Amino acid sequence: MKTSKPNKHETIAGLVWVVLGLAAIFVARGYAFGTITRMGPGFVPVMLGILLVVFGLFAAWQGRTLPGVSLNLRLRPFAYIIVGIVVWVLLVDWAGFVPATVALILISAQSERGMKWTEAALLAAGMSLVGYLIFIRGIGIPIAAFGS
């Protein structure tokens, strides 16, 4: 992840915190600030926002000399994992627990090399059963195995 030459990544990361801090302060203007004796709900968020801005500036300044970061993102496995979760959320209330789980396992299994479909199918079946027994039968969370 680290490259030897300094680059702008560290500085940008610091500035992202500055922006987040400013945003926090901006939103907190809508909450009563109060006095030091009787602090309103806005007091602490504003203070924290200021701290975030100060620390972020410091990190950005310090980041000029640090060895640079390169993100080295492996987009394919990354996407399969995220999409897998999103599909599970979308399916679970509508199609039921089992279809959602099968979809999650089959999609997220693609994030790894060398996955065989039979293996993935077996894993999906196994997880559906284990999940059904623990969470629907055992704990009794109110979702249907199939259907909404």
Partner 1 sequence: MDLISGIALGLNVAVTTEALLFCLIGVSVGMFIGVLPGIGPLAAVAMTLPITYHLEPMSALIMLAGIFYGAQYGGSTASILLNLPGTSTTAVTALDGYPMAKQGRAGVALFITTITSFVGGCFAIVLVMSFAPALGQMALKFSSAEYFSIMLLGLVAAATMSLGSPIKGLISVVAGLLLATVGMDSTSGVVRYSFGVLELQDGLNLVAMAMGLFGVAELLKNAGKPRDLAPQKVRMRELIPTRKDMKECWKPTLRGSVVGSFVGILPGAGPTLAAFLAYAFEKRVSRTPEKFGRGAIEGISAPEAANNASTQAAFIPTLALGIPGDAGMAVLLGAMMIHGITPRPEFFTTNADLFWGLVVSFWIGNFMLLILNIPLIGFWVRVLTVPQRLLFPAILFFICIGVYSVSNSPFDVMTVIVFGIVGYLMNAYGYPPAPMLMGFILGPMIEQHFRRALLFSRGDITTFIDRPISATFLVLTLLLIASIAIPTLIARRRGLPAED
Nearer to partner 1, 142 or 146 (CB): 142
Minimal distance, residue 89 CB to partner 1, in Å: 5
DSSP structure string for 43-69: HHHHHHHHHHHHHHHHHHHHTTTSPPB
- Residue with Cβ nearer partner 1 (69 or 95): 69
Query: From the CA atom positions of the chain, what is the Rg in Å?
Result: 24
Check: CB of residue 99 under 8 Å from CB of residue 146. yes
Contacts of 95 (CB under 8 A, 6+ apart): 146, 147, 148
- Which residues lie below 8 Å from residue 111, measured CB to CB, with a gap of 6+? 76, 77, 78, 80, 81, 84
In the complex with partner 1, the residue whose CB is nearer, 45 or 95, is 45
Whether the CB-CB separation of 97 and 145 falls below 8 Å is answered with yes
Cβ proximity to partner 1, 9 vs 95, nearer residue: 9
* CB 88 to partner 1: min, Å: 5
Handedness of CA 49, 52, 56, 58 (dihedral sign): positive
In the complex, least distance from residue 119 CB atom to partner 1, rounded to whole angstroms? 7
User: What's the min distance (Å) between Cβ of 95 and partner 1?
Assistant: 13
Smallest distance from partner 1 to CB 25, Å: 10
